[in-house]
Structure 1
Amino acid sequence: MTRDRVIYYRDERSDDFAAVTGTSVLPDGYEYERGTLFRALSFLLYRVLATPVAALHSRVFHGLRVYGKEKLKESRGRGIFVYANHTLDVGDAFFPSVAMFPRRTFVITGAGSVTFPVAGRLAPYLGALPLPSSRAGYRDFLAAVKKRLDERACVYVYPEAHIWPYYTGVREFSDASFLYPAKFGAPVYAATTVFRKRRLFAAPRCEVYIDGPFLPDESSTVAENKSRLHAKARAAMLSRSLLSDCEYVRYVRMT
């Protein structure tokens, strides 16, 4: 990020402006499901440590406000998928647990989230579900996602995949990740982060708007539902993104 807060990009689908990135390869045989001790420590770390820290950081540093949480009640007793725009490094790690509270939230991530030397060891305890790097790991990954749904948790997805700090639009993303709700028949929500001016701070306030639920059609095929859910979630995100009233970082396409 340059001093005048301009970022130049070539491809909105592949350029990544995260502060730190890890390896993109998940080791074969990665264990998504672990024993009783892991689950107990995961619960304690998530509820006692991570959630309060996330709430404090989000309020203090980003002035976070969440709108539309009442819509989540329509899916009470069911596991859900939430799709969000990927606009902050630390914020996007913290916002899901705050926006979805008190529902337990798991975030589908790249392999980098669990391969960092220190933070990577903690990430699985805090809800990271890394994407497999090979077909061999895909079955275990899907089984882990299904188990979280059966536990009535929230599975949080950043379909844009790469972080663009403070980007006010919604980048192009495929319908690939919408296979999960289409396959498992789960409700879908959109959670759109927008940026609003603050009087006393240069950095804008973050507001998250929740829309949905968007439901799979039982009479349609998985492929049809995947496409339909993608279209509905993306339309909601595009509409909400128009609420941003400032451009803290300007993005310019390189020619």
Structure 2
Amino acid sequence: MKLKQKVIYYKDELNDEFAFDNIKPRKIGAEYKYVYNSIWKKFTRFFWYRIFAFPIAFCYLKLAYRHKIVNRKLIKQAKKTAFFLYGNHTHNMCDALIPTMVSVPKSVHVIVHPNNISMPVLGAITPSLGAIPLPDDMDSTRNFLKCIETRVRQKKVITIYPEAHIWPFYTKIRPFTSLSFRYPVQYDVPTFCFTNVYRKRKFSKSPQIITYVDGPFYPDKNLSTKEQREDLRNKVFNAMTERSKLNNIELIKYIKKEDNTVK
């Protein structure tokens, strides 16, 4: 089935955002509570994550995109420890769901832009689903870092989208910094990555999504802390770039503005 290709023009690969354009992000200040210890909050986490979201996510991914995961068995190597999971950021809905499918039965938390907890109705639920919003000031940064430490100590999975911004159905890997790789270096835990690839389907307007898992990657203790972050970043970037070559459909063509006459 032949589809009309949409075109998006961009200026900046590091900062342009093509999702959540109409949402005003909530300010994450010192008052934002990242970690709850009450029995009620633990129950709501279990309910929204395991009872509500997981079966819906599984069915949605299978029915809408015939979702398939390749190499999920690699995750078993880290079943007794926390680990960090990095992925490409190309779908506003599926990117919230796929880390859970990759990491099951381990519980997943996802570092997100404040937009994700600012949405009407759903924004109130996403923290129970594992959303960890990026902080806006020094006080909230301290709370954010304590939250990361707590989740590592609890042997959870922490997902990071190092590209930071969603580019729907993008088929390459955008450049990203080594900043977010400070966490697996600091806590000396494994790093995995996943790459969502879009494949053409004969009788459907929507593509198949195949998720390829790679890793584990570990910090090289023979290097300085900064070099360890760069080394991990390069391993993840190279693995994801190689997997991205398996895309065989481009639903949206992205063109840099300076390369054309668009104003």
TM-score by length of 2: 0.92
**In structure 2, how many angstroms separate the alpha carbons of the residues matched to 1:12 and 1:219?**
32
1:60 corresponds in structure 2 to 63
Alignment pair present for 1:29 and 2:31? yes
Q: CA shift at 1:162, angstroms? A: 0.6
**In structure 1, how many angstroms separate the alpha carbons of the residues matched to 2:80 and 2:24?**
36
Q: CA shift at 1:219, angstroms? A: 4.1
Task: Choose from 63, 66, 72 the match for 2:75.
Answer: 72
Q: CA shift at 1:225, angstroms? A: 1.4
Secondary structure of 1:220's aligned partner: coil
Task: Choose from 140, 143, 147 the match for 2:143.
Answer: 140
The list of structure 1 runs, each at least 4 consecutive aligned residues, that deviate by more than 3 angstroms after superposition, is: 19-22, 218-221
1:161 corresponds in structure 2 to 164
Please tell me the residue identity of whatever aligns with 1:123: T
**In structure 2, how many angstroms separate the alpha carbons of the residues matched to 1:185 and 1:46?**
27
**In structure 1, how many angstroms separate the alpha carbons of the residues matched to 2:211 and 2:180?**
21
**In structure 2, how many angstroms separate the alpha carbons of the residues matched to 1:140 and 1:77?**
25
**In structure 2, how many angstroms separate the alpha carbons of the residues matched to 1:36 and 1:230?**
38
1:11 corresponds in structure 2 to 12
Secondary structure of 1:126's aligned partner: coil
Q: Which consecutive unaligned segments of at least 5 residues does structure 2 have?
A: 259-263
Q: CA shift at 1:98, angstroms? A: 1.4
Q: CA shift at 1:38, angstroms? A: 0.6
Q: CA shift at 1:19, angstroms? A: 4.7
1:186 corresponds in structure 2 to 189
Please tell me the residue identity of whatever aligns with 1:188: T
> How is 1:68-217 mapped onto 2 (pairs within 5 angstroms)?
68-217=71-220
Please tell me the residue identity of whatever aligns with 1:25: K
**In structure 2, how many angstroms separate the alpha carbons of the residues matched to 1:139 and 1:228?**
26
**In structure 1, how many angstroms separate the alpha carbons of the residues matched to 2:193 and 2:50?**
24
Secondary structure of 1:174's aligned partner: coil
CA distances 1:38-70 after superposition (whole Å, capped 9, x unpaired): 112101210001111111111111111101111
Secondary structure of 1:124's aligned partner: coil
Percent identical: 33
Q: Which consecutive unaligned segments of at least 5 residues does structure 1 have?
A: none
**In structure 2, how many angstroms separate the alpha carbons of the residues matched to 1:167 and 1:59?**
20
Alignment pair present for 1:227 and 2:230? yes
CA gap of 1:50–1:113, structure 2 versus 1, over 3 A, is same
- Residues paired across the two proteins, number: 253
Task: Tell me if structure 1 keeps the 8 A contact 2:5–2:251.
Answer: no
TM-score by length of 1: 0.95
**In structure 1, how many angstroms separate the alpha carbons of the residues matched to 2:226 and 2:255?**
35
Secondary structure of 2:254's aligned partner: strand
Please tell me the residue identity of whatever aligns with 1:43: F
